[in-house]
């Protein structure tokens, strides 16, 4: 009897727990999406209290309750129409995000592939020390790295321009760390065989190493993309012109002002990330798994 209980009861309990947690986890995302299909009037009726207290902020809560609603009374794409056609501001900020994040992701991964080849093809004491330094650098929080970034951008005269974010982003050591781990797993025999067949290092890199690590590069690219798509710290400090702020920073300002449109903008902002996630979940999992072996 006890055995049977254990066999069915425990897994069911576990499943219910896990299921509840999973539902709670996707709830904020789902709510954001469903709310984006409300009319602006319905949004203001439900969430108007948020703006009121945010602007007054005198602990006088004149307004009524906030009603978190799951399903809109009337489904409408009016919010989206306003975002797309009436207020170009959001689209400009979206574009700001794109031209910061895409070059960083692309070039960080490409440069990292190149560098990782150097770290994995030949090994030596000095290279090991440098690689270790890269790991330490990777583990430093923004609060440490932003001060050097600021100084050097100031010195190079790129402070306040997008380059102040893009250049340090490209040289950030995160992808080098992950791709070196991946490339070190490629059997040495592949390289030696190509070498014997007369291939140069450049050829070995492009024709053997790159194809073998293509999926890992996608995984690393995904992780880099999402990290920078989320950035808040760097633009606040390194950009001076608010016109250049990416949508991630700008969204915090409409939260208090333009609540009627905020949900639609939020959804537009998460679409690229969500699409990448749905398309590349396996790559993402692989990338995370690779990041796990910090020791070996």
By CB under 8 A, residue 114 contacts other proteins: yes
- Binds other proteins by CB under 8 A, chosen from 22, 56, 74, 129: 22
By CB under 8 A, residue 289 contacts other proteins: yes
By CB under 8 A, residue 8 contacts other proteins: no
By CB under 8 A, residue 162 contacts other proteins: no
Distance CA 90, CA 87 (A): 6
Q: How far is the CB of 64 from other proteins (least distance, A)?
A: 7
Q: How far is the CB of 1 from other proteins (least distance, A)?
A: 19
Let me know: does 76 contact 39? Beta carbons within 8 Å.
yes
- Between residue 248 and residue 287, which ones bind other proteins under the rule CB under 8 A? 248-249, 251-252, 255, 259, 262-263, 266-267, 269-270, 273-274, 276-277, 281, 284-285
Residues 6+ apart with CB under 8 A from 31: 68, 70
- Between residue 63 and residue 82, which ones bind other proteins under the rule CB under 8 A? 63-66, 68
By CB under 8 A, residue 229 contacts other proteins: yes
Residue identified by tokens 């009374």 is 73
Distance CA 164, CA 159 (A): 6
Residue 158, CB-side half-sphere exposure with 13 Å CA sphere: 11
Cβ proximity to other proteins: between 28 and 187 the closer is 28
* Number of chain residues interacting with other proteins (CB under 8 A): 99
By CB under 8 A, residue 140 contacts other proteins: yes
By CB under 8 A, residue 180 contacts other proteins: no
By CB under 8 A, residue 207 contacts other proteins: no
By CB under 8 A, residue 233 contacts other proteins: yes
Cβ proximity to other proteins: between 88 and 123 the closer is 123
Residues 6+ apart with CB under 8 A from 220: 109, 112, 174, 175, 178, 179, 287, 290
By CB under 8 A, residue 146 contacts other proteins: yes
By CB under 8 A, residue 152 contacts other proteins: yes
Q: Which stretch binds other proteins (CB under 8 A): 79-87, 182-190, 211-219, 246-254?
A: 246-254
Distance of CA 97 to the CA centre of its chain: 12
Residues 6+ apart with CB under 8 A from 13: none
By CB under 8 A, residue 83 contacts other proteins: no
Number of Cβ within a 10 Å radius of residue 147 = 11
- Binds other proteins by CB under 8 A, chosen from 38, 100, 109, 112: 112
By CB under 8 A, residue 21 contacts other proteins: yes
Helix extents (H) in the chain: 2-4, 10-35, 40-56, 78-81, 88-121, 125-139, 142-156, 163-171, 174-183, 188-196, 201-204, 210-212, 214-229, 233-238, 247-256, 259-291
Distance of CA 125 to the CA centre of its chain: 34
């Amino acid at each position: 009897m006890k055995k049977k209980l254990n066999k069915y009861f425990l897994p069911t309990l576990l499943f219910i727990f896990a299921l509840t947690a999973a539902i709670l986890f996707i709830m904020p995302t789902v709510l954001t999406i469903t709310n984006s299909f409300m009319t602006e009037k319905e949004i203001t009726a439900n969430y108007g209290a948020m703006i009121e207290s945010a602007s007054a902020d005198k602990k006088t809560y004149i307004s009524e309750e906030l009603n978190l609603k799951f399903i809109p009374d009337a489904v409408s794409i009016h919010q989206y129409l306003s975002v797309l056609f009436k207020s170009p501001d959001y689209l400009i900020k979206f574009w700001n995000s794109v031209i910061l994040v895409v070059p960083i992701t692309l070039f960080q991964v490409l440069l990292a592939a190149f560098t990782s080849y150097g770290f994995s093809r030949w090994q030596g004491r000095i290279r090991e020390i440098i690689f270790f330094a890269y790991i330490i650098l990777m583990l430093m929080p923004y609060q440490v790295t932003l001060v050097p970034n600021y100084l050097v951008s100031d010195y190079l005269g790129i402070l306040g321009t997008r380059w102040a974010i893009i250049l340090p982003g490209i040289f950030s050591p995160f992808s080098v760390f992950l791709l070196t781990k991946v490339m070190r797993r490629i059997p040495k025999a592949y390289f030696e065989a190509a070498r014997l067949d007369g291939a140069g290092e450049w050829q070995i890199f492009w024709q053997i190493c790159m194809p073998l690590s293509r999926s890992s590069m996608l995984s690393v690219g995904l992780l880099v993309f999402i990290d920078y798509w989320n950035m808040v710290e760097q633009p606040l400090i390194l950009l001076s012109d608010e016109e250049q702020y990416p949508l991630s920073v700008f969204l915090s300002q409409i939260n208090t002002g333009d609540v009627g449109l905020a949900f639609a903008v939020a959804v537009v902002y998460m679409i690229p990330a969500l699409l990448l996630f749905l398309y590349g979940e396996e790559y993402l999992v692989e990338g995370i798994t690779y990041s796990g072996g910090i020791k070996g």
